Chain A
């Protein structure tokens, strides 16, 4: 299963990219909630490095933790993350940035890699979301 979101920014690819890895900037928007308070942002911005974002929501700390898998400045960033409070499942996020005029265009791809599935076949998640609705309306048999 894959979720994809795209967005255009007026800011340069470098500024948009750096906003993901600069703790001071990332803490303002990534994993932050309007009513929550970001109380901790630790980012080890290297491949294999980890991160922790702690958002305090109604007095309760919610951690977002993960590791960086690919860092190609201003072009591509890939990381794993999980929210231990809700699930032990790691999900994978890829960000691809291409220049667009004086700004840039960002494509975010969120793949869910389930433990028993990670080493297995390639068939699977892609398209399930879009197919769920059709599937119930149009049985194959």
Chain B
């Protein structure tokens, strides 16, 4: 899997999106992140690992503490990819329209 797949998978889960939203407000400890969720610390850690794998979350050690922060750059990557997909379909549909119009012109040419 490439990093785009990791990013899209990371973003596909509501808990992980909520973690990102929390981190967009600033750095946090793992225990702070787990607090609003009705799930175990272990489960939150798994979500955080998936976010780290996608490079959406950065981990920093301060003494015994692990502080997590948001790295928003991959989100731009995902948004750009989605925009490129939209543009791609737009250009394909333009090509379809052009092909159909060419067929019409040929038909008219023949019937004359």
Residues of A within 8 A of B (CB): 1, 3, 5, 7, 9-11, 15-16, 19, 25, 28-32, 87, 89, 106, 108, 110, 112, 114, 116-117, 121, 123-125, 128-129, 132-133, 135-136, 139-141
Contact = CB atoms under 8 A, between A and B. Distances in A.
Which 10 A-B pairs give the minimum distances between C-beta atoms? A29-B95, A139-B24, A11-B100, A139-B25, A5-B89, A7-B93, A129-B82, A29-B96, A132-B79, A141-B25
A8 to B, nearest CB: 9
Contacts, number: 94
A3 B89 contact: yes
Nearest to B75: A132
Interface of B: 1-2, 4-5, 8-9, 11-14, 17-18, 20-22, 24-25, 72, 75, 78-79, 82-83, 85-86, 89-90, 92-93, 95-101, 103-104
Given A7-B90, A114-B8, A132-B78, 12 more contacts: A10-B100, A10-B101, A28-B95, A30-B92, A31-B92, A89-B5, A114-B9, A121-B14, A125-B12, A129-B79, A133-B79, A135-B21
B96 A16 contact: yes
B93 A108 contact: yes
Contact of A3 (B18, B72, B85, B95): B85
A109 to B, nearest CB: 10
